[in-house]
Amino acid sequence: MTQTFENPTHTKERYVFAANLAEVLSSGSKVVNLEQHVIALFYSDGKVYAIDNRCPHMGFPLHGSICKDGIVTCPWHYARFDLDSGGTFDSWADDVRAFPVEIRDGEIWVNLTPQVDLVTHQCQRLQDGLEQSISLVIAKSVIALDKQVDATEIFRMGLEFGAHHNKGGWSSGLTILTCMMNLLPYLDAEDKPCALYQGLSAVARDSAEAPPHFAVHPLPNSNVNANTLKNWFREFIERRDSEAAERCLVTAVRTGLSRQQIADMLFAAATDHRWLDVGHTVDFINKALEALDYVNWQGAEQVLASLVVPLTSASRMEESSSWRYPVDLVAILDDAFKQLPAALEVGSGHRSTWSAQDELTTILLGDDPQAIVDVLLNALRCGATEEQLALTVAYAAALRVARFNTNNDFGDWDTAHHPFTYANAVHQGLQRVPSLELLRGVFDGAMSVYLNRFLNVPPARIPEPKDIVENPEKLLGELPNLLDRQQQVNEAGKLVAQYLYSGGKPELLMAMLGKLMLRENRDFHVIQEIEAAFKQYYLLSKSQKAFHVLIAATRYLAAHAPTMRAQAQTYQMAYRLHKGELLFEDK
């Protein structure tokens, strides 16, 4: 019968009888079950040790492992552990829990009181996983920290690490992490730690073997005003002078410019040129600002500095033949930009009267770039707000995906995708800072939608509200199996349309799409697409247009599924280890 001994000198410690000393001396080791713990007892060099019987790496039993010179070696992947402390000599394995032992009258007593703060330990392990880019370590840490600390704190660790440990600046990893944070409210509770794990793993992958970024100091005792700093910053970005641009940006933070003023600096520089880096640059800026909002702009200098390299190195579409020939889109846009101040002035008196979104969408999807620019300018004169124009362009870009003809080359899915996520980023940016410079991004987005018109020739048909079913939730249950097969693009779009038109709950659909996204190997563009679609769905007020956006996201996801799903397998292994399941022991 199990007995308990309270150590009189350490009242918080709880010793439990484990075994007779003679049993362990005769065999060298023994496995005992103590309450919820399965413990391996080892006798080595005249001393008894107690450690958790499961290797923390992959859960293989440690009982019977080779024990020499106070080190036990797991026979599965050869992880080595100090028997006394449980510390590992192989960081990918994690420390195994060690239990203090006392010998009393020929009996072995084991202290079950935790010897370390588990939250502190798991935060350190998460840092280790990021530094060494070990997905399993990241997964185990995130699962252990779930419900122990706020998701924002886990996110902050990844943001801080990625901003500092990647001299190439903000890239896909940090964007994926921020997208995952944005997606958390839409996901089932069981999928939220998986989303954070995938975002953090993406950051670690981007930062692997990358040199750190060493901060540039702000201008000393600077009293430069906001407008001057903005002009300097734009000029340095124009010259691709990253060090000077970063010093302006860091100075803006240090001298106390508002968040809106800093956002204005960044977006102005990003829209001084057309369609930078096929839209990624503006999206990166938007995501960095969203990331800083989550952490209340803690570490803003480092995070914002990471945007300078993407700004200075980005390709500029005025240098691209597709934006110059056979129609000079850059010249058309330059002329339109000269008319923007007057158009805004004319429309400022009747901002609440514009309601021509449908007509604008039709022209945006047409084949006349001059007509597209003209209708955008006319909408501003008629009272359309910057946000209304941006929302309409984002919807038109989503329709390119919803109507994408599957006879196109597979790589053209990304061609259709980029205008949508770009337009979404411009729209989010205009909600933050409705500036004249960022308004140019709406026109850039419209031109990118125009350039992709060939992807809808002929257009894939968007399912209509018919074939209503009484039990739409049954349809939703069919979606995972459908996406287990390749190229079920049109079928998945039809199923989701039928589900929505039959009164299915969009919230359940979005949770399912998030789950299906997470089970695939992470894909930067798929994650971007899903995150932007969810955001645009609510901005479109749950209308039929909003349904079209979810149909577009479903088709894009279906086009990129299934994959090998290695990331999900790693996460499931970590989850099973956390739950204490028997992975390798005989049942």
328 with 441, same domain? yes
Show which of 207, 234, 265 is a domain's final residue.
207
Asked whether residue 341 falls in the same domain as residue 420, the answer is: yes
Per-residue pLDDT at 6 exceeds 60: no
Instruction: Verify that 107 and 129 share a domain, yes or no.
Output: no
Residues 9 and 26 occupy one common structural domain? yes
- Residue 585 confidence class, pLDDT cut points 50, 70, 90: low
With cut-offs at 50, 70 and 90, classify the pLDDT of residue 157: very high
Domain contains 499: yes
Is 70 exceeded by the pLDDT of residue 205?
Answer: yes
Q: What is the pLDDT of residues 278-322, one digit of tens each?
A: 999 999 999 999 999 999 999 999 999 999 999 999 999 999 999
Same-domain pairing of 325 and 414: yes
Shared domain for 448 and 338, answered yes or no, is yes
Number of domains in the chain: 5
Q: What is the pLDDT of residue 469?
A: 86
Distance CA 477, CA 351 (A): 44
In a domain, 583, yes or no: no
Q: Is the pLDDT of residue 229 over 90?
A: yes
Any idea what the CATH number is for the domain that residue 264 is in?
1.20.272
Mean pLDDT value of segment 345-372: 92
Query: Does residue 508 form part of some domain?
Result: yes
pLDDT of residue 5: 41
Percent of the chain at pLDDT > 70 equals 97
Domain closes at, from 456, 484, 506: 456
Domain hosting 107: range is 4-111
DSSP string, 156-176: HHHHHHHHHS-TT-S-HHHHH
What is the domain-level CATH number for residue 80? 2.102.10.10
Q: 432 and 335, same structural domain?
A: yes
Q: Give mean pLDDT, residues 136-164.
A: 96
pLDDT at 103 over 80: yes
The two tokens of residue 177 are 């992490």
pLDDT in tens, 61-99: 998 888 888 999 998 899 999 999 999 999 889 899 999
Please report whether residue 351 resides in a domain. yes
Is residue 554 within 8 Å of residue 496, measured between CB atoms? yes
Identity at 549, one-letter amino acid code = V
pLDDT at residue 381 is higher than 50: yes
Q: What is the mean pLDDT of residues 182-197?
A: 97
Q: Domain for residue 546, yes or no?
A: yes
Residues 447 and 491 in one domain: no
CA distance linking residue 24 with residue 31, whole number of Å: 9
Is 242 in the same domain as 305? yes
Last residue of a domain, one of 154, 173, 207: 207
78 and 124: one domain?
A: no
Q: What distance in Å separates the CA atoms of residue 82 and residue 45, rounded to the nearest whole number?
A: 13
Does 586 fall in a domain? no
In terms of domains, do 307 and 327 share one? no
Provide DSSP, 26-44: HHSEEEEEETTEEEEEEEE
pLDDT recorded at residue 468: 85
Q: Are residues 301 and 327 in the same domain?
A: no
Residues 528-579 pLDDT 10s: 999 999 999 999 977 899 999 999 999 999 999 999 999 999 999 999 988 8
Inside any domain, residue 496: yes
User: What pLDDT is attached to residue 1?
Assistant: 37
Q: Is residue 356 part of a domain?
A: yes
CA distances from 324 to 274, 319, 336, 414 (A): 11, 8, 16, 21
Q: Which residues 6+ apart lie within 8 Å of 260 measured at CB?
A: 432, 433
